[in-house]
Structure 1
Amino acid sequence: MFDAPPTVDAVVVTAPRLPDAPAAAVFSSVQIEPRLLSARPRVDDALKSAPGASLFRRTGSGIANPTTQGLSLRSIAPSGAGRALVTLDGAPLNDPFGGWVIWTQVQPATLGGAQIVRGAGAGPFGAGALTGVVRLQTADGTNDDLQLELAGGDEGYGRAAVLARGAGRRLLLAGAYERFDGEVPVRGPRRGAADTAIGLESTGLSAAFGDQLGDVAVGLRIAGWREKRGAGLVGADSVASGKSVAVSAARLAEDGRPGWRLQAWAMESDLRNGSVATAAGRTGTTPANDQYATPAQGYGLNAALRGAWWEIGVDGRLFEGESRERFRNMGGAFTRTRVAGGQASVAGLYGEAWRESGPLLLTAGARLDRWSSSDAKRQERDIATGGLVLDERTADQDGTTPTARAGVRYALASDFFLRAAAYSGFRPATLNELHRPFRVGNDITEANAGLEPERLFGGELGAGGDLAGLAWSVTAFATRLEDAIANVTIGVGPGTFPVAGFVPAGGVLRQRQNVGQIEAVGLEAEASRDVTDRLRLRAALSATDARVDGGGQAAQLTGKRPAQAPIWTATAGGEWQMGERLTAALDLRYESGRWEDDLNTRRLSPALTADLRLDATVSRRARLFLAVDNLFDANVETAETADGVESFAPGRLVRAGIVLRR
C-alpha cells in the first residue's frame, strides 16, 4: 500500500475501461488489494485500512443508517453525504438523492482491487470528488468458475454469497444475503425501554457481461439491492433499495491511434426512514416522523479520448427526487404530510496533458462545469382536511465553476521519488441536503434549498520509494474548503421553532448551512514490507488538524473542529502464511477522540480495535475461515445525545464460514 501508481494490464475486462494515464503517478494514491477486499463482507470495512477513508460516523455500513454511509477522505470534514466520489469501473455508486453509498450494491468478491486517489478530483473525476475518489474495479477471471460462501456467527449473524463466471469469462453473476440481529447501542444504567438492537437484513444482486467486438471492448452491468435495518430505538428503522445499469465501451490506444471510452449509466433508489422521539429517562418512544418514500433517479454520461500525452473528455449527471413523509404526531397519530424535492444537474468538460522526460513527469489539467438546482418545492398539508399549510418554492440556482489540477514527480533514483501537486474541486449540494429534513432521537436537522456548492483548494508534497524491500510514502497536505456544508445548531429544546415545529427537551435543532470555510493541514504515511515469503506487514498513519472559520454566517463555530473529524488515525496489519494450508491476518485501527456535534460539546472517546481472521485450505475446492471483529471487545463510542447518553458500536463478533469453489 504505497504511493506508486498501480499497474493495469491492457486486457479485456468485464467492464471496459482505459488504463491509468501516466499523470496518475503525480497524485497521492493507495491501492487496496483484492485479498484485503474479499476478506471482508462489506467493501467499506476493507477501505478503512487506509486511515483517511471513513464513513461519516465510526460505525460501518453493517449497522450505520443509510443516510450516514457517505465516504470521505483525509478527515477534513466528514459528511453523511460524503465528500468523496465512489465509482465502479467508472460509473458512480453514490446515491442520486443523498450522495451516500449503499455498499450492499457491490460484492467484495467481484472486485479486482480498489484505488483511493486523495485530493480534489478535477480532471476526469469531476463534481463530487472533493476530498478524493475511490475507484473500484471489477475482477478479471481467467477461467469459468463457481464460488459459494456460507457463514454464521454471534448475534444472529448469517451470510450466503454466490459468484459465478462463465461463457468464456464474458458473464459474471453475483449475489449475497446478509443478516445480523445486532446489539443494543446504549449500555449500562442509561439504557431504557426505548432502546433496542440495531439489526440488518440485506440482499444484493448483480450481473455483468463483457465482450470484444473487433478492437472495441463492450460491457453491461445491472444491479439491484435492498437492505432493512433498525436504528437502536423502538419503532425507528429504515429500508433502502435501488437498482442500476451501466453500459460501457472502450478501445485502447494502438499504433498511434488515440484510445477512447464511452459510458452511460442510470440509477434508481428509494429510502424509507422512520424516526421516533424518546421520553424522559428513555422509558419509551413516540413516532415522530415517517419518511415513507424517497424516490430518486440519476442519469449520467461520460466520455474520454486519450492520445499519447493528452486526454480530453466530457461528463454529465442529472438527479431528481423527493422526500415524502408524515409528521407532527398529535394525539397518537400523524397530522401532517410533507413532500419536498427538486432536480439537480452538473455537466463539464476537461482536458489534461502530461510530459515525461527521463526521471521527470509533469502534468496539468483543467475543467469547466455547469451546475444547477431547480424545481425546488416544499409542501405541507393537514391530513384531516387536505389543506395546504406550507408551500415554499425556492428560486432556481445555477453557476459555472472552473477547477484545475497540476503536479510534478521526479525520480531521484529507481527506488526514490519526490512529487508535488496542487488542485481544486467542487461539490454541489445533494438533493438530500437541499430538501430533506431528518430526525435522530430528539435532535432535528432542517434542510436548506438555498445551499451553494462547496469548493476546495489544496496542495501537497510527497516522497516515497523502496528501501531494502520496504515500500513507503509520506505526504504533507494543506487544504481550504470554502462554503462548507455543515449541520449548524440554531436552537435547543424544549421549544417551538418556525418550520421545524416542536423540539423536545434533550434535543437540538440544526440546519444545513454554508459555514464559511474549513482549513486543514495534515500528514499521511504508509509502509509495507514482505518480511519473508510468508509474512507481509503494513502500517499507515493519518494526522489532520481541521478548523472551522464560520465567518458571519456561523461565527459560533470559528476555531472549532468539524464534527466527526479525528486528528489521528493509524492502521496496521499483517498476513502470515503459517503453513501450506493456514493463513492468519490481523488488522489494527486507532482513532483519536472526535466531536459528535458542530459546537464541540459532545466528545467521543478514542478507540482502538483489532480484527483477526484465520483461513484454512481444506482442499482445492474448499476453504474454512474464522473471523473475530473487535477482538478485544473494545468500547467504541459512536454517538452521544445532548443529555449525555452514549451509544457504542458492537463488541466482539465471531464469524465462521466455508467457501466452496467448483
Structure 2
Amino acid sequence: MRSRYGVFLLTLPSALTWAQVAPPPNYNQKLSDVVVTATRAGTPLDQMTLNTTILTGEVLEAAPDQTIDQVLKNVPGVFLNDVPYYQKDPTGQSINVRGLGYGRTLVLIDGLPANDAFYGTVQWNLVPMSAIDSVEFVRGGVSSLYGNYGMGGVININTKTPQNSSQDIAASYGAFGTGNVAVSKDIVASDAYQMRLSADYFSTAGFQNYATIFPASPNNIKNGMGTDSAANSNIRLENFFKPTADTNAFLRLGYGTMADLSTNYAIAPNLIQTANFAGGTNTQIDVDKKTQVNVFYQQTQFYKQSGSTATSGVDRNQPYINANYTDPYSTLGASAQYTQDLHAAGIDQYILGIDARNITASNTTNNLNANGSGQVVSVDYAQGQQNFYGILGQLKSKSSAIPLEATLGARLDYWTSQTPTLYNAGANGINPQYQNVNSQSKTQLSPSLGLLYQATSDLDLRAAAYQAFHAPSMNNTLRSYGSQTSWNFANPNLTPETMTGFELGSDYRWGAGFAQITAFNNYVQNAVASYALNANNAGDVALAQSLCNATGNPLTGVGNVGICNSKSVNYFTNRQDLLSQGVEFQYHQDLDVHWAVDSGYTYTNTRLTWNATSDPTGSQLGGVPRNMFNSGVTYYPAPSASLSATMHYVGNSWMDTAHLYPVPAYAIIGLRANYQVTQNASVFASVVNLLNRQYITFNQATSSSSYQAGMPQAISVGARVSF
C-alpha cells in the first residue's frame, strides 16, 4: 500500500508500494492523522505553526542514500554536504539548519538527546536506517520547549517498537567495501510487557575524503594517507511496560562503538565507545490529564589521534602521529511534564515542565615530536562541567469566532559553566601554566508565539516568533589542539548565544498533493566562532603569547614561539553577531496511481552583521550555499515494485567568509529500485551519484587543503527478511 504520510517529505520520492497500488491519498484529509511528538504535546501536523516535515519509514526505504544524515541533506533548510558521517572526523558529524551553523540544532532519538555531550555534534552512528520508523523535522526556534540546541529546530528520530514476536534481518553491501547488517528480535510477552533486542554493524573501506581534483590535489595527498575506513556497531535493549491500565513505561540500554581514520592515516585511528541508559513513564491521570517523567545517562570514552607527514629533516615524507587526545565525558539528565486539555476559558491545552542536565568532561592533548619518536613535546589539559536547569509552560488556544489557533510558550533556563582546571605545559607535562578561569552563568528567557489561520479548507497561513539560546560546547571551552599549519585554542570564558527570529509560511493542499512555502529571519547575538589571531594586533599577539607559553611572537614565528610551531593561531570568541534570512519551498504531486513527483528549494542568505575579529561583515558565511534544489520522481510499474530517481543541486558557495576558497555548483543524481519478493522479504538496489560526477562538496574551512571530494558513484544492493 502507498504510505499514508510519506508524501509529507517533499524532497524525496513517495513511499514504495508493497502489496497493491492504491489510489493516491487525499492529503487534506490525512493531515490530521499525523501527530508530531517533537512538540512535547502531540500536535497534529495540520496544526503546526512552524515549518515541519515528516519522513516515514517507507520514504526512508525509497531513498538512494544509505545513512540518515545523507537522507536529511535532501530536506529544504538542511545543510549537510555530500560526505556521509562515517567519512568525516567524529568532531564534525553535525548538522546545520537554515545556515545558523553547526551544533545549533537539537537531534533526538525517541525523544532523548542524540547531540554529543562534549562536541555538540550528532551521533548519527547510534541509529541504523533499518531501525528508524519515522523522522520529524520541526524548523525554527524551539528553545521555549527544549532550551539548549533549540535555535535551528528539532529533529526527532523515532525507532521501531515491538509489533509481534518476530525477527528481522536487513543487510546491504556495495561500493568501497561498504556493508551493513542489522538484526532485531521482538518479544510480545503480553499487553503489559514487550521487548526489542537489536544489533547492527557497519563498515566501509571508504573513498578518498580529501579532494583528488583541483584545487587541493595533488599536494593535499600526503605520503602515508589512505582512504578513510570506518566501522561502527550498536547493541540496544528496549523494554516497554504497562504496570497499570493508565501507565506506560520504558527502559532502554545501549552500547555503541565507532572507529575511523578521520585524518586518512592508518597509523592514527579514532575510537568512540558509548554506553547509554534511558527510562521513563507516561501516566494518564484522567481523560484530559497526563504526566511524563524521563531520565537518561550517557558515558563516552573518546580516544582520538591525528596523523601527519614530515616535511623536513631525516624523516621527510614519513607519516607519524602528531597528537593524541583522551576525552572522557558523561551527561545525566531528567525531565518531568504535566499536560492538561481544558477546552474551556479560551484555552484548549496547557503544559508545565521542568528539566535538568549535567555534563562533566575533561580533555588531555599530547602533542608529539615530528620525528616520530612519540616524545610528548607539550600537553594541554582541561576539566570542567556545565549544568542546565529549565522550567517551561505552554498554552494552546483555538478561537471559535474565527479559524485561528495560537500557541504561546515560554521557558526560563539557568546555565552554569565551571572549569576548575586548565593548563598548558611543556614536554611531558612539565612546568604547567595554569589559567584561573572564573565560573560562567547565564539566565535566559525563551518565549515563543505561533499563529495558524485557516483561510480556506485547503489553505493555511502560519506565523511564528521566538527567542532561543545555545550554550558553547565543551569542545570550544576545553579542547585545544594543533597541527603542522595551525593551532586551535579553547576559550573557557565563552558564554551562550541568543537568537531572536520569526517566520511566515503557507500550506496549500489539494486531493493529489500540496505545496508549502516559508520565509524566515533569524538574528544570533554573541555567536561562538573561531577566528585567526592577527599578528598586527597587539592584543592578539599578547593573547597568542599567553596561549603558546611564548616570549616571542608566535604569529610571525619570531623568537621563542613556545608550543606554537606555526604562524596560524585560532581562538574561540563570542565577538560576532550573525543574521540568517531565507525561503524554503516544498511541493508534492501524485500524477496518477503510477507516478508521483516531489521538489524542494532553499534560499539562504547568512552573514555577519557585527564582528570584532578578522572576518568581514556582510559576506555570505563559509559552508552555506545560497541556493539548493532537490527533485524526485517515483514510478510504480507493478503492485510489488517501485523505481525512484532524485536530483540534488547545490549552488556556488565558499568555504570561508572572506571568499578566498570558492566551491563550484554541482548536481548529483541518485536511483533506487525496490521489489517485494514475498510478503516477508524484499530486495533493493541503489546508486548514489549515478553519473559518477567528480566534484567538490561544500564545506566550512579556511584553507585549500580542506577541500573535500563528494561521494563518488556508489552502487549497493540489499535485502530484508522478517519471519
TM-score by length of 1: 0.91
1:354 aligns with 2:387: no
Aligned residue runs from structure 1 range 469-488, under 5 A: 469-488=512-531
* 1:448–1:511 CA contact under 8 A, matched in 2: yes
CA distance in 1, matches of 2:463, 2:44: 17
Q: What's the CA shift string for 1:369-419, capped at 9, x where partnerless? A: 0000013422344455x5332212311011211111002111011111111
Question: What amino acid sits opposite 2:202 in the alignment?
Answer: E
Does 2:715 align with 1:661? no
Secondary structure in 1 matching 2:634:
strand
RMSD: 2.9
Contact 2:380 2:480 in 1 (8 A): no
Check if 1:65 corresponds to 2:89. yes
Q: 2-side partners of 1:155 and 1:249: how far apart?
A: 44
Say if 1:268 and 1:433 are closer, same or farther in 2 by CA, change over 3 A. same
Equivalent pairs counted in the alignment come to 650
Match of 1:392 among 435, 447, 462: 435
Find the residue that maps to 2:70 and give its secondary structure.
Answer: helix
Q: Work out whether residues 392 and 409 of structure 2, in 8 Å CA contact, stay in contact via their aligned partners in 1.
A: yes
Which is further off, 540-549 or 582-591? 582-591
Judge conservation of contact 1:22–1:354 (CA < 8 Å) in 2: no
The Cα shift of 1:250 comes to 0.8
Mean Cα deviation higher: 570-579 or 318-327: 570-579
In structure 2, the CA distance between the partners of 1:42 and 1:223, relative to structure 1 (3 Å rule), is: farther
Mapping of residues 217-616 of structure 1, within 5 Å: 217-234=248-265, 235-252=267-284, 254-255=286-287, 257-280=288-311, 283-291=317-325, 293-308=326-341, 309-329=349-369, 331=371, 332=373, 333-358=375-400, 359-384=403-428, 387-439=430-482, 442-490=485-533, 498-500=546-548, 501=562, 508-551=568-611, 553-554=612-613, 556-616=615-675
Tell me, yes or no, if structure 1 residue 212 matches structure 2 residue 245.
no
**Residues 1:650 and 2:650 are matched in the alignment:** no
1:135 aligns with 2:156: yes
State how far apart, in whole Å, the 1-side matches of 2:252 and 2:304 are. Answer: 28
Match of 2:74 in 1: 49
Q: What are the superposed Cα offsets for residues 155-177 of structure 1, whole Å, 9 maximum, x if unpaired?
A: 11121111222225811222211
Q: What residue identity is the alignment partner of 1:250?
A: N
CA deviations on 1:327-385 (whole Å, 9 max, x unpaired) are: 1525532223332131001111111101112421011111110000013422344455x
**Distance change (3 Å), C-alpha of 1:377 and 1:23:** farther
Question: Would the alpha carbon gap of residues 439 and 154 (structure 1) be closer, same or farther in structure 2, given more than 3 Å must change?
Answer: farther
1:507-539: CA deviation from partner (whole Å, max 9, x where unpaired): 733222113210121001111122222333211
Deviates more, 1:84-93 or 1:434-443: 434-443
Unaligned regions of 5+ residues in structure 1, if any?
none
**Worse overlay, 234-243 or 173-182:** 234-243
Task: State the shift of 1:8 in Å.
Answer: 6.2
Q: 1:130 to 1:178 in 2, by over 3 A?
A: same
Mapped to 1, the partners of 2:115 and 2:51 lie a distance apart of: 22
Q: Distance in 1 between matches of 2:381 and 2:69?
A: 32
**For residue 340 of structure 1, what is the amino acid of its counterpart?**
A
Summarize deviations over 1:522-574 as a string: whole Å, max 9, x none: 001111122222333211111110111233x2254322222211111222223
Change (3 A) 1:232 1:641: farther
Superposition deviation, residue 138 in structure 1: 2.7
Offset at residue 193 of structure 1 (A) = 1.8
Kept after mapping to 1: 8 A contact 2:130/2:182:
no
Alpha carbons of 1:344 and 1:118: their partners in 2 closer, same or farther (altered >3 Å)? same
User: CA shift at 1:21, angstroms?
Assistant: 7.1
Identical amino acids, percent of aligned pairs = 21
> Which letter maps to 1:174?
S
1:160 and 2:181 aligned: yes
SS of match in other structure, 1:631:
coil
Q: Which amino acid aligns with 1:193?
A: N
Kindly provide the amino acid, as one letter, of the partner of residue 225 in structure 2: D
Query: Could you tell me whether the CA contact under 8 Å between 2:145 and 2:409 is conserved in 1?
Result: no
Of structures 1 and 2, the larger Rg is shown by: 2
Q: Hey, what's the Cα distance between the residues in 1 that align with 2:170 and 2:482?
A: 37
Shift of 1:195: 3.1
**Does the aligned pair in 2 maintain the 1:18–1:260 contact within 8 Å?**
no
CA distance in 2, matches of 1:523, 1:158: 38
Deviation at 1:622, TM superposition (A): 2.2
Following superposition, the deviation at residue 72 of structure 1 comes to: 2.2
Q: Deviations over 1:64-98 (max 9, x none)?
A: 1111112221123x22xx11011122211111111
- Cα distance between partner residues in 2 of 1:608 and 1:376: 49
- CA separation of 1:6 and 1:518: change in aligned 2, threshold 3 A: farther
Higher relative contact order (CA 8 A, sep 6+): 2
Q: CA separation in 2, counterparts of 1:579 and 1:316?
A: 52
CA contact under 8 A between 2:260 and 2:270: conserved in structure 1? Answer: yes
Which residue number in structure 2 is paired with residue 75 of structure 1? 99
